[in-house]
Amino acid sequence: MKKGKLINQPISAVIAGMGHGDELVIADAGLPIPTEPRRIDLALTKGIPSFLDTL
């Protein structure tokens, strides 16, 4: 169940579709990831929004 005021539709859709055992990772641009996982890039430009602002 999701609660709050999340207004980013792609993130809201991912959270709404999550089930038991699913994982959500919030990371900065330095995290190496394979091409298979679904990714939502929130960056407007380098450092904006900051990692801590995103949390």
Say which residues have a Cβ less than 8 Å from residue 6's Cβ, sequence separation at least 6: 12, 15
Residue 20 annotated as catalytic: yes
Catalytic residue among 20, 25, 41, 52: 20
Q: Which residue type is seen at 8?
A: N
Which among 48, 55, 45 is positioned nearest to 11, based on CA atoms? 55
Q: Which residues are catalytic?
A: 20
